[in-house]
Amino acid sequence: MTDDDALRALAEPRRRVILRLVARDELSAGEIAGAFEVSRTAISQHLTVLKNAGLLTERRAGTRRLYRARPEGLAGLREFLDDMWAGALDTAKRLVETDRGLSDGGEKVPHAG
């Protein structure tokens, strides 16, 4: 379970949809598969990728497997993005101050709020 695994997992659109679904409610594999037009097998493989990336967790109820999003799996990604965001704002600010920035078409510098 690395940030690399998580980001690779999220690069595929269907897996993002799956993650949204199981972030809202715990669902069985069959219920998840029912929301897509591809085969059950394809969904099963996607679920395995997400699980291995630490983004969701599975429990069994009889023959059913229930999946829900795992918040911890997203923590590293949020941190990664926060660092990027903060660094990018800082750099943009510095460039403005040294008059090196904003000469490429009036790019707006978002407020850090």
Partner DNA sequence: ATCATCTGTTAGCGGTGACTAACGTTAGCG
Partner DNA sequence: CGCTAACGTTAGTCACCGCTAACAGATGAT
Length of the chain as a residue count: 113
C-beta atoms surrounding 39 within 10 Å: 10
Residue that the structure tokens 């109820």 belong to: 61
Applying CB under 8 A, does 109 fall inside the site for a second copy?
yes
Indicate if the alpha-carbon torsion angle 83, 86, 89, 92 is positive or negative: negative
Of 37-45, 80-88, 92-100, 102-110, the segment contacting DNA by CB under 7 A is 37-45
Site string for DNA, 4-33 (x = CB under 7 A): ----x--xx-x-------------xxx--x
Cα(72)–Cα(79) distance, integer angstroms: 11
Indicate if the alpha-carbon torsion angle 29, 63, 41, 5 is positive or negative: positive
By a kind-dependent CB cut-off of 5 to 8 A, residue 107 interacts, out of a second copy, DNA, none, with a second copy
Q: Which of residues 39-78 bind a second copy (CB under 8 A)?
A: 57-59, 68-72, 74-75, 77-78
Strand partners, 58: 67
- Tell me the two tokens of residue 62: 């009889």
Site residues for DNA per CB under 7 A: 8, 11-12, 14, 28-30, 33, 38-49, 58, 60, 62-65
Site residues for a second copy per CB under 8 A: 4, 7-8, 10-11, 13, 16, 19-20, 22-26, 57-59, 68-72, 74-75, 77-78, 80-85, 87-89, 91-92, 95, 100-101, 103-104, 107-110
